[in-house]
Chains A and B, each alone.
Chain A
Amino acid sequence: MAGASEVAGDERTVERGRPWRRQELWPWAAFMVVFGLMPVLYSAPYQHNIAVLICLTALMATGWNLLGGFTGQISLGHALFFGVGAYTVTVGELRIGLNPWLGMLLGAAIAVAVSMIVGLPVFRLRGHYFSIATIAVGEIAFLIFLNWQFVGAAGGLSIPIKEDSLLELQFSGQHKWEYYYLAAGLLLLALVATQLILKSRTGYYLAAIREDQEAAASVGIPVARYKQIALSFSAATVAIAGAFFAQYVLFVDPVSVLELAISIQITIAAVLGGVKSMWGPVIGAAVLLSLTETARLYLGGTGEALNLVAYGLLVMLIAAFEPNGLIGLAQRFRRPRNTRGQR
């Protein structure tokens, strides 16, 4: 027994979180190379637009996945937080001249506050009932904003165009690379935060809650509090994406930032890539937007919505054959499985 505990103790002494393993590092390198070079490889303006949207969708899906994938609470109402971020920036700028970066932070803070109000009743439900309740919450928000004159109601609000500046988060260049790198930077921050959470005690607790809430409670985990921590993180992340989006298109209305379709898009990006890995949502967002935009280019405009049919087919195939998403598909071709907690 003494010998074995020596083996266990030799290299793990005072780390705060789960120690790093070498195979965890290469995705970071790949991310840096791919996202760093994307604007160089895709140089046409419309491609830059897609690249920005990939970053924002990946940002949202990464935020969503801490709650949906790692904590197992599938929300279909995250458009609410996207809208809160987008509206906070816009209304802040129009009504009190708030700087957009501060508006982004304020939007994240309001989203966390809203998530606490929403979380209280919604987390009393489990499984499908939880998901259905989140749809209802999202739709309520949609209807409120649709009729709320102060925030422009159905007509929406425009952010006035200013001179190009990082401080004002406005760039008029056709190639949009400033927006791209800022969005990619935010995504990187969200990924780093996610990684740190997953390696900490909180990461273990969220996994335990996903696996079995009663068993989690029996080993001393305050389940409600940790669910709320996951929801708060995901709400703030999605709100930041919403704020950035509003600043990017300089316009918000309920249809463009609060629709159910946005909630579903976030979920699908995460599920397509694979919710068991923190890289799944990033890959999912990249593949989903590349495919849908390509499909729209070649199949759209016919009035037959063939691009949407292709999109639906893709989702069905993933759901039916590989619940672990593209990452799960890729792992089938690699060595068996990559268990958590290998020595």
Chain B
Amino acid sequence: MVLLEVNGVTKHFGGVAANENVSFSVEEGELVGIMGPNGAGKTTLFDQITGFQAPDSGRIIFDGRDVTGKRPDRICAAGLARTFQIVRVFPELTVLDNVVVGALHRHKDVGVAQKRTYELLERVGLEDRSNALGRELPLAARKRVQLARALATEPRMLFLDEAMAGLNKKEAGAAVELLKSFRQEITIVMTEHVMEILMPLSDRVIVLVEGKKLVEGQPKEVSTDKRVVAAYLGEKFVASGE
């Protein structure tokens, strides 16, 4: 079943096309990776799908409903949650309260939301830090708070913007394990520009370059595609083959 359908989305900033006629769809249960060099328009695409920017043209259909240009809170209510590339935890709230805010979206009762939060903190490995303030945590932990807060809204689909950026190898490895533990339960779309992380995780990969969709396919096909290699390394590396 198709959960998300992005149809011809275009977004210009002045004369620059951040996204041009981007189309793709995501099946329920898939993990789709979106990759592309810096400035390829990944975050702009995320912002449009999650309601933070309205596309100039194109349609976004989530779960059969047209959500194009809807407000972020409506899109969250429809079942699509996100994290941010530049981590946005609530700095002066405790880890517990950060996630409770998310859990309150589906559970009006604070007691129930707290209970739900403790379960989630346990899953992301932050149960010992529930009383720390958001600003006191290192980056890797703040990313986990963000993830738990988004999951607390009980979405059907999760958009992760640069989930691993800024993490060291060990932290990134732990984050990959964490994502694997959730992928059976939820449809995930993630951006990441480290190919070694994205490729083994993804069912399908979409490559954006200069705002346009360049290639879409299985990770294996994509990583050997000449156009992708050219976009990442430059033309001269393509011809040499190995």
Contact = CB atoms under 8 A, between A and B. Distances in A.
A8 interface: yes
B122 A208 contact: no
Contacts of B91: 211-212
Interface stretch (A15-23, A89-97, A177-185): A15-23
A212 B122 contact: no
Given A212-B88, A219-B149, A12 B111 contact: yes
A128 interface: no
A229 interface: no
Q: Give the bracket for the number of chain B residues in contact with chain A.
A: 35 or more
Interface string B196-218: 00000000000000000000000
Given A8-B119, A220-B77, A222-B73, A340 B88 contact: no
Contacts, number: 125
B182 to A, nearest CB: 15
A9 interface: yes
Nearest to A204: B101
A221 interface: yes
Interface residues of A, number: 38
A219 B115 contact: no
Nearest to B97: A341
Contacts of B94: 339-341
A8 B111 contact: no
Contact of B82 (A15, A201, A218, A339): A218
Chain A to chain B: the 6 pairs with minimum beta-carbon distance, closest first: A8-B118, A220-B76, A211-B90, A217-B72, A215-B88, A220-B105
Interface of B: 50-52, 71-73, 76-77, 81-82, 84, 88-94, 96-97, 100-102, 104-105, 108-111, 113-115, 118-119, 122-123, 127, 130-131, 133-134, 149-150, 152-153
Interface of A: 1, 4-5, 7-9, 12-19, 199-201, 204-205, 207-208, 211-212, 214-223, 339-343
